[in-house]
Amino acid sequence: MKQNLLDFDFQQLTAWFAEQGEKPFRARQVLRWIYKSGEHDFDAMSDLAKTLREKLKQTACIQAPMVMREETASDGTRKWLLDVGTGNAVETVFIPEDDRGTLCVSTQAGCALDCSFCATGKQGFNRNLTTAEIIGQVWWANHELGKGADGNWPVTNVVLMGMGEPLLNFENVMDALSLMMEDQAYGLSKRRVTISTSGVVPAIDRLKNHTDASLAVSLHAPNDELRNELVPINRKYPIKELLRSVSGYMDTLSDRRVPVIEYTLIAGVNDHRQHARELAVLLKDFPCKINLIPFNPFALSDYRRPSSSSISNFRQILHEAGYTVTVRTTRADDIGAACGQLVGEVGDNTRRSQRYRDAAEVQKDNESRSNLEQNNETAAQVTGKRFSRADNLAVAIDRPPRPSV
């Protein structure tokens, strides 16, 4: 089988060329072709000797995941469903703005963590993505969108906020991050590459030895009791431990960056004024920015998005307590590409997706039974006669067809 060169960071590619009996500088040349020029054809790599190009064609390939489906939202956001083989496909979203282009990248096929407000979690989990499948999403998006008039790639920022928990795929994610930030590859600034985690504390503790990328923390609740419900990994790594671990990482960075606290606002669940006050107290000794994300509805969830006034009240309380607070604008919910809505295709190993579908069926059945009972009650009040379920079906069947127009 040919070696996919997207699976290697700079160091690994250098070692691979050495194994092939080639000079180390070949790694730099090839890396630049792949990431600076977006090239996947060895024949086009004109500064490589012809014999080396022939050899590479026999032994290696440059293969990003293949696109299965592509959608463009009314606001210009693009979403791709990418085939990662073995019955799995992941979603990648490009969000264009005036001064940047942000790519939301997936790191796993599905997710094992099952946060209650997230569509990905409901699909269960299949496997970690390879380095090639992660960096390949950036490669694909740049390739598809093409360089701008200034000669730069459109992807200027990357957030690991797509499908999966990035820190549960630690090694492959670290290799992909190093390619995003490596000068010979995409050379993105550490401020423009963000890992978003639900709080895998041992992995956050390891981060400082591997990267200096920016960090976002999915908090979503101001206390352990509520967070245990919304983000189940909290039962293992509670809030205090999580904040201690994040501070430890931020302290090792050479600049004065602060983490972003992500807080999905769910109507009637975590959006009360009291929650905002509690959050303000919780974070008072924890330098951070807070990003509020109004919940984005999806099938299999009964949660609702809060009203504009409760979002604004929540924001105001935090603002008055001295925090920098942003409210994330909902983008691309018309194509299911907003935060928490991503679903690919997951060959679920956990059987969780089936359990959720079964539960939804039972709920639908219960609802239709209770509607029927209500209708019966109304009918009984009007006619003085009670109908059985069989009567209702019979009424439906006996009803004469509507005349055609």
Give the span between the Cα atoms of 335 and 140, in whole angstroms. Answer: 20
Between residues 115 and 250, which has the closer beta carbon with respect to ligand SF4?
Answer: 115
**Residues β-bridged to residue 102:** 95, 157
Asked if 70 contacts 103 with a C-beta cutoff of 8 angstroms, the reply is: no
Between residues 154 and 162, which has the closer beta carbon with respect to ligand SF4?
Answer: 162
Between residues 153 and 263, which has the closer beta carbon with respect to ligand SF4?
Answer: 263
User: Could you tell me which stretch among 58-66, 115-123, 137-145, 266-274 binds ligand SF4 (CB under 6 A)?
Assistant: 115-123
Give the span between the Cα atoms of 106 and 163, in whole angstroms. Answer: 4
User: Could you tell me which stretch among 70-78, 106-114, 130-138, 343-351 binds ligand SF4 (CB under 6 A)?
Assistant: 106-114
Residue positions annotated with a catalytic role: 91, 339
Nearest approach in angstroms of CB 278 to ligand SF4 is 21
Nearest to 345 by CA among 119, 61, 59, 51: 119
Half-sphere exposure of 281 toward its Cβ, with a 13 Å CA cutoff?
7
- Residues numbered 172 to 201 that lie near ligand SF4 (CB under 6 A) are 198
- The reply to whether 113 sits near ligand SF4 by the rule CB under 6 A is yes
CA 41 to chain centre: 30
H or E element, residue 196: strand 193-197
User: Could you tell me which stretch among 32-40, 158-166, 169-177, 299-307 binds ligand SF4 (CB under 6 A)?
Assistant: 158-166
- Residues numbered 197 to 216 that lie near ligand SF4 (CB under 6 A) are 198
Q: Residue 286: left if φ>0, alpha if ψ -120 to 50, beta else—which one?
A: beta
Contacts of 12 (CB under 8 A, 6+ apart): 175
- The reply to whether 165 sits near ligand SF4 by the rule CB under 6 A is yes
Nearest approach in angstroms of CB 114 to ligand SF4 is 6
Nearest approach in angstroms of CB 204 to ligand SF4 is 13
Nearest approach in angstroms of CB 62 to ligand SF4 is 28
CA dihedral 359, 365, 366, 370 (to 10 degrees): 160
Amino acid, single-letter form, for residue 151? G
Give the span between the Cα atoms of 49 and 34, in whole angstroms. Answer: 17
Asked if 331 contacts 338 with a C-beta cutoff of 8 angstroms, the reply is: yes
- The reply to whether 121 sits near ligand SF4 by the rule CB under 6 A is yes
Sole binder of ligand SF4 in the list 65, 101, 164, 294 (CB under 6 A): 164
H or E element, residue 96: strand 88-97
Number of residues near ligand SF4 (by CB under 6 A): 12
Phi/psi of residue 375, each to 5°? -60, -40
Asked if 154 contacts 94 with a C-beta cutoff of 8 angstroms, the reply is: yes
- The reply to whether 118 sits near ligand SF4 by the rule CB under 6 A is yes
User: Could you tell me which stretch among 160-168, 186-194, 348-356, 378-386 binds ligand SF4 (CB under 6 A)?
Assistant: 160-168
- The reply to whether 111 sits near ligand SF4 by the rule CB under 6 A is yes
Asked if 215 contacts 246 with a C-beta cutoff of 8 angstroms, the reply is: yes
Nearest approach in angstroms of CB 150 to ligand SF4 is 34
User: Could you tell me which stretch among 163-171, 325-333, 348-356, 371-379 binds ligand SF4 (CB under 6 A)?
Assistant: 163-171
Nearest approach in angstroms of CB 92 to ligand SF4 is 14
Nearest approach in angstroms of CB 207 to ligand SF4 is 16
- Which residue ranges make up the site for ligand SF4 (CB under 6 A)? 111, 113-115, 118, 120-121, 163-165, 198, 218
